[in-house]
A and B are shown apart, each in its own frame.
Chain A
Amino acid sequence: MKRLLHLLWTHLFPLPVVSGLEGALARVFTACIVYYFLPIFSPPTVQPVPVGMAHFVDLTWLGQASSFEIYRQVLIALLVVYASGIALPVVLPVLATAYIALYTLINSQGFTNHSHHILAVVLFSQALAALFYLRPKTGNWLKPSAGLRAWMLVAAQAGIASAYLISVFSKLWNSGFTWLFRSHYIALDMVKTMRQNYYSALDPRYATEPPNVVWMLEHPFWTALLFDLGFFVEALIVLSVGTRKLAMIFGVGTICMHRSINYFMGLEFYQNESMLAVFFVNVPFVVAFLLGQRPMDRLKQTS
């Protein structure tokens, strides 16, 4: 046991080496994903149930078609600068704040749309890492240093892993610590989600029963086992922060979990899946590796 704990401590949260090319690819991929999911139409002009910064700031002006169009262009410009890597200690906090403001208004309508949380969490975590480098003589103004590149990867991974860990805590707390034994009832929620999808647009694709739902409810043990697997992936992904191979395994595992939810419930997790592909499956690392940049060592264990 002592040896296991020692092993865990030794390998926990290393700071990996991120090559210039990998860092640049990660920023370009992230910027493209954020841009792809930006709303095209202006959000509502009301904030009936304010959340987050909307408690303190009136964000309804963002919903006006004319101001939204300008705001969107500013966000796109910030994404371009972010992707270029110039002045990240300043650009990233501004970008994260601007992005969070827009989705705060969208989430101040009396219901929460969780689709964009993961992108906000990534930008927010990276902004915190970048702020740490907001010091003169750190050499991060024209291009990010090796330290900032490593921390941007680890911060994004930590933010994403924390989101899954929070979901695990909520499952335990809200179910009175019985989630693992009652998870088979999620099969009923699969029916609910199909119906809700149907009534969104009266789309006949959703007018059926989810696949295997009766079998799942007739076999609660095996169904619970299936859902509990997802629970453990969510709980343990945090252990892969800072690693390469383990992060890739958990990244693929979590994407598989989202894909299976999509198959059974028709729920989409494109933002989560794309962030997992960039920061856990390490697509930028793989591409950089194939192009000849192979930094396999770890950074010195200091910030």
Chain B
Amino acid sequence: MLSSKVILLIAIPVFCALSLVLKENFPFSHYPMYSDPDPISAYYHLEDAEGKALPLTQLTGVRGPNLGKILRKRLSDQAKKLDVGVKSLPREAVDGVARDTLAYLRTQAKHSKQVLPEKLRIMFTTIQFVDGKVEEKREVFFAE
């Protein structure tokens, strides 16, 4: 019979290795959150055409951090499909991803019995520490 020591010395590395290889395949995960601290941080949020911020979770059930996760995952998949880096994706490919994401959010809003405004904007904000201040720069990532 194997001792608990030997079993765990095999099981723990196997589980860790599997998780690192399989990445985000529930119940496995490689837990990539905050794993690459950078001098620039960024996030996305949703606005209507007039620039009024929208409460994403209340309208779609999707939490704020997940909008960025959805966009990053779709952009990365698109980049793999086109065999380019995410930063080299052509504008039309990025717009396509944004359009698909908004379509998904509308489906989720319907599921939550909510209605999103006819025209939406996805905003992209970068955060940096400059001259002793936290500086945020906002730009339109995609507008319908």
Contacts and interface: CB of A to CB of B under 8 A. Distances in A.
Q: For A112, A151, A158, A173, which residue has the most chain B Cβ atoms within 10 angstroms?
A: A112
A163 B31 CA distance: 8
Interface in A44-71: 44-46, 48-49, 51-52, 55
Interface stretch (A73-81, A82-90, A187-195): A187-195
B96 to A, nearest CB: 14
A188 B127 CA distance: 7
A44 B61 CA distance: 10
Interface in B34-78: 34-43, 45-46, 53-58, 62-70, 73-74, 77
B88 interface: no
A166 B12 CA distance: 10
Contacts of B29: 112, 114, 117, 163, 166
A295 interface: no
Contacts of B132: 214, 218
B111 A14 contact: no
Q: For B20, B24, B37, B57, which residue has the most chain A Cβ atoms within 10 angstroms?
A: B37
Nearest to B42: A192
A214 B128 CA distance: 11
Given A166-B31, A214-B134, A303 B5 contact: no
A191 B108 contact: no
The SS class assigned to the A binding surface is helix
Interface string A1-45: 000000001001111000000000000000000000000000011
A270 interface: no
A12 B33 CA distance: 29
B33 to A, nearest CB: 7
B30 interface: yes
Interface stretch (A134-142, A198-206, A244-252, A282-290): A198-206
Interface string B19-30: 110001111111
A173 B58 CA distance: 36
Interface in B120-137: 125, 127-129, 132-134, 136
Nearest to A161: B12
Contacts of B134: 188, 191, 209, 213-214, 217
B109 to A, nearest CB: 11
Nearest to A121: B27
B93 interface: no
19 contacts: A15-B4, A44-B108, A44-B111, A51-B25, A52-B27, A112-B26, A114-B29, A162-B16, A175-B36, A175-B37, A183-B37, A188-B38, A195-B64, A196-B68, A197-B64, A199-B53, A199-B55, A200-B55, A213-B134
Given A192-B127, A196-B67, A196-B68, 7 more contacts: A121-B27, A165-B12, A169-B16, A191-B136, A198-B64, A201-B56, A301-B3
Q: 8 smallest A-B Cβ distances: which pairs?
A: A111-B69, A185-B37, A200-B64, A196-B64, A120-B27, A199-B45, A167-B31, A188-B41
Interface of B: 1-5, 7-9, 11-12, 15-16, 19-20, 24-43, 45-46, 53-58, 62-70, 73-74, 77, 101, 104, 107-108, 111, 125, 127-129, 132-134, 136
